[in-house]
Amino acid sequence: MKTSVRVPAWLLGLSLILWFGVLGLFVSSWFTQQKALANIAAQEMELRNDLNRLSTWGQWTIDFVKIDKALAYLSKDRLTEEQRALLTEQIWIISRSYATDPLLILAVVAQESHGNPNARGRMQSGAFSGALGLMQIKLETAKKMGERFGLRIESETDLLKPEINVTVGTAYLIRLIAKYGNWKDALIAYNLGHSAVDKMLERGTPLPTRYYEHVISKYWNLTSLSFL
């Protein structure tokens, strides 16, 4: 004997409504959770970017302090407070623009002039070599470099201004780095002149490294200073 159970249409409809209701709640809950997770991920990314920016700003601040302290150490009060503040800012901007360690620039200053903004270069005979200021730049070279970025240099007085001298000297050094592709050859060319270095390289003659070694030694001396 067969029996059949017939489910009332209203009960079947109610079951379907409940089933779709539960499904809708699940889908809604899933999308809500996904949105919350996406917001958390976005917040985490923003926080990470903030931390990276703070780290960068922190390094920039440290670099600024390093430049100021190193200048004070090198100049031994031969720069006024105003000159030192201006020069610190100038070297900081240059180091950021060229992605260069500012203490390497100051190591060249240490080697060339011992931090004396009024230094005048001398040849072995004692005659004036033409090199002037913190980075011992010659007026002819300074004029050519100044023209590249709209800096007008007309006299030795202009070149003896620390901020001008370092701007031109660093620009010239960066140009040599671009030419030779490394700091070592660039520093040697800064000392001997690029024409002399070019001839040595063409002939396969080993470049003298004494100047380079002196600069690097002074760089390590500057990095060992306490900046706290």
In tens, the pLDDT along 116-158 reads 999 999 888 888 889 999 999 999 999 988 888 778 898 999 9
Strands (E), 38-148: 120-122, 128-132, 137-138
The domains found in the chain, sorted by start residue, are 49-223 (1.10.530.10)
Give the pLDDT score at 161. 92
Cα distance between residue 193 and residue 109, in whole Å: 17
Q: In the structure, what pLDDT confidence band is assigned to residue 50 with cuts at 50, 70 and 90?
A: very low
Q: Is 8 left (phi over 0), alpha (psi -120 to 50) or beta?
A: beta
Check if the beta carbon of residue 151 is closer than 8 Å to that of residue 169. Answer: no
Contact residues for 101 (Cβ-Cβ < 8 A; gap 6+): 95
Check if the beta carbon of residue 130 is closer than 8 Å to that of residue 138. Answer: yes
Give the pLDDT score at 51. 45
The length of the chain, given as a count of residues: 228
Count of CA atoms in the C-beta half-sphere (13 A) of 221: 17
Give the pLDDT score at 119. 94
